[in-house]
């Protein structure tokens, strides 16, 4: 039987620890250079269709679909290498690894990400994030719907969720209440949701960048969630 920990800290990957928007921009530029704008547009059309169908970003699946309409085999093979060998470590936000080291000193720290079972683990491994948490990672299609599974894998008295998506944090907070502290990192394109709509409940803690988390103590993380009441207030 797994031992219940006092605190488990769950940390998102894309646009929380790693600048995925920058990766997407690099991928877009590479697609145009290798295939031209028309076929690049077909790739992103396939990407959007797969995301709507399966609920996660399937970069490799979209490339597979692009093959059906292209006879440029050499570039397609090089494209797969671009994805699998991309230097994700260079796309970590400043202080990301130091922040994980800090969090590991406060409680069991686990990467909790959405994605497929090939490319997303590859990204986490090549970035150095996998090693930083000793392989403690979970990858789901919709992580906010998998909270029971998360708690089975990593039982704890209290949880912290660190993410760049305020609506996802609100969903998890509604499900777990005071047992979860929601920590919003204002990075990446999803963070704009905080400026355009009201979030209910608002995150318990907000920081400007992942490196700011290093200033927080264990008591800060626990008390902010345990004492918070669900509200419809704007994000602080």
> Which position has the higher pLDDT, 38 or 157?
157
Percentage with pLDDT > 90 across the chain? 78
SS (H, E, C) 48-82: HHHHHHHCCCCHHHHHHHHHCCCCCHHHHHHHHHH
Mean of all residue pLDDT scores within the chain: 91
Please give the pLDDT value at position 2. Answer: 83
Please give the pLDDT value at position 16. Answer: 98
The three-class DSSP label of residue 92 is: strand
How many CB atoms neighbour CB 25 within 10 A? 11
Q: Which of 25, 67, 76 is nearest to 46 (CA)?
A: 67
Please give the pLDDT value at position 70. Answer: 64
| 20-88 belongs to CATH 1.10.3720.10 | no
Residue 191 has pLDDT above 90, yes or no: no
**Of 117-131, 161-175, 216-230, where does mean pLDDT reach its minimum?**
216-230
d(CA 39, CA 42): 5
> Which position has the higher pLDDT, 2 or 141?
141
Please give the pLDDT value at position 134. Answer: 97
Please give the pLDDT value at position 200. Answer: 87
> Which position has the higher pLDDT, 196 or 202?
202
In the block, which residue shows the tokens 């994805």? 83
Question: What's the average model confidence in pLDDT over 11-37?
Answer: 96
Contacts of 174 (CB under 8 A, 6+ apart): 201, 230
The C-alpha R_g of the chain, in whole angstroms, comes to 19
What is the torsional sign of CA 61, 64, 70, 73? positive
d(CA 154, CA 171): 19
What's the CATH architecture for 5-19+92-226? Answer: 3-Layer(aba) Sandwich (3.40)
Asked if residues 42 and 69 have their Cβ atoms less than 8 Å apart, the reply is yes
**Of 79-83, 94-98, 206-210, where does mean pLDDT reach its minimum?**
79-83
Residue 185 has pLDDT above 60, yes or no: yes
d(CA 35, CA 191): 32
Please give the pLDDT value at position 223. Answer: 95
Residue 196 has pLDDT above 70, yes or no: yes
Please give the pLDDT value at position 65. Answer: 87
Question: What's the average model confidence in pLDDT over 158-164?
Answer: 97
Q: Give span(s): CATH 3.40.50.1000, the chain.
A: 5-19+92-226
Please give the pLDDT value at position 228. Answer: 61
Give the residues across from 114 on adjacent strands.
Answer: 140
pLDDT tens figures, 105-143: 999 999 999 999 999 999 999 999 999 999 999 999 999
**Complete edge-to-edge strand list for the sheet that includes strand 156-163:** 137-140, 108-114, 5-11, 156-163, 180-185, 205-207
Please give the pLDDT value at position 233. Answer: 36
Contacts of 100 (CB under 8 A, 6+ apart): 11, 17, 109, 129, 132, 133
Q: Give span(s): CATH 1.10.286.50, the chain.
A: 20-88
């Amino acid at each position: 039987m797994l031992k219940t920990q006092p605190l488990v800290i769950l940390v998102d990957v894309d646009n929380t620890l790693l600048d995925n928007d920058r990766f997407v921009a690099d991928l877009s530029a590479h697609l145009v250079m290798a295939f031209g704008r028309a076929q690049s547009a077909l790739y992103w059309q396939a990407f959007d269709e797969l995301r709507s169908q399966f609920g996660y970003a399937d970069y490799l699946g979209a490339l597979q679909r692009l093959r059906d309409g292209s006879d440029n085999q050499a570039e397609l093979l090089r494209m797969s290498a671009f994805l699998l060998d991309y230097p994700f470590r260079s796309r970590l936000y400043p202080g990301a690894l130091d922040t994980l080291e800090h969090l590991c000193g406060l409680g069991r720290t686990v990467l909790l990400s959405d994605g497929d079972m090939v490319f997303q683990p590859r990204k986490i491994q090549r970035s150095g994030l996998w090693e930083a948490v000793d392989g403690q990672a979970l990858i789901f299609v919709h992580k906010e719907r998998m909270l029971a599974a998360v708690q089975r894998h990593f039982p704890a008295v209290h949880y912290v969720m660190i993410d760049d998506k305020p609506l996802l944090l609100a969903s998890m907070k509604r499900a777990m209440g005071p047992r979860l502290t929601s920590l919003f990192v204002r990075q990446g394109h999803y963070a704009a949701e905080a400026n355009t709509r009201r979030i209910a409940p608002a995150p318990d803690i907000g920081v400007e960048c992942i490196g700011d988390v290093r200033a927080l103590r264990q008591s800060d993380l626990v008390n902010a969630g345990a004492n918070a009441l669900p509200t419809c207030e704007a994000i602080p």
